[in-house]
Amino acid sequence: MLIQQHEDVTAAVLDVMQRTCDPRLREIMISLVTHLHAFIQDVRLTEAEFREAAAIIAELGKLTTDAHNEVVLMAGSLGVSTLVCLLNNGDRGKTETSQSLLGPFWRLNSPRVPNGGSIVRSDTPGTPLYVNARVVDSAGEPISGAEVDVWHASPVGLYENQDASQTPMNLRGKFTTDEAGRFWFRTVKMVGYPIPTSGVVGRLLHAQDRHPFRPAHLHALIFKPGYKVLISQVYDHEDERIDTDVQFGVTRKTLGDFKRHDEPHPTDAVVPWYSLDYVYVMESGVAVLPRPPIK
Q: Could you give the string, one character per residue 112-131, with x where binding to Fe ion holds by CB under 5 A and - elsewhere?
A: --------------------
The Cα 291–Cα 66 span in angstroms is: 12
Residues 22, 247: Cα–Cα separation, whole Å: 33
- Contacts (CB under 5 A) with Fe ion, residues 32-91: none
Q: Are 135 and 146 in contact (CB under 8 A)?
A: yes
Q: How many CB atoms lie within 10 A of CB 255?
A: 17
- Tell me if 276 sits within 8 A of 234, measured CB to CB: yes
Min dist. Cβ of residue 161 to Fe ion (A): 12
2 burial type by CB count under 10 A (0-12 exposed, 13-18 middle, 19+ buried):
exposed
- Tell the smallest beta-carbon distance from residue 115 to Fe ion (Å): 23
Task: State the Cα–Cα distance between residues 211 and 214, nearest whole angstrom.
Answer: 9
Q: What does the alpha-carbon distance between residue 95 and residue 80 come to, in Å, rounded to a whole number?
A: 19
Determine the residue type at 49: E
Comparing every residue's Cβ against Fe ion, the nearest one is: 103
Nearer to Fe ion, 227 or 235 (CB): 235
Note whether 212 and 194 are within 8 A (CB): yes
Q: How many residues bind Fe ion (CB under 5 A)?
A: 1
Which residue's CB is nearer to Fe ion, number 103 or number 181? 103
Nearest distance in Å: CB 160, Fe ion:
12
Q: Which of 76, 90, 103, 128 binds Fe ion (CB under 5 A)?
A: 103
Q: Shortest distance, CB of residue 105 to Fe ion, whole angstroms?
A: 6
Nearer to Fe ion, 90 or 249 (CB): 249
Interacting span for Fe ion (CB under 5 A) from 1-9, 57-65, 100-108, 137-145: 100-108
Taking CB under 5 A as the criterion, which residues in 186-215 touch Fe ion?
none
Task: Indicate whether 104 belongs to the interface with Fe ion (CB under 5 A).
Answer: no
Residue 130 pairs in a beta bridge with: 186, 275
Decide whether 130 or 159 has the Cβ nearer to Fe ion. 159
Which residues of this protein are in contact with Fe ion, per CB under 5 A?
103
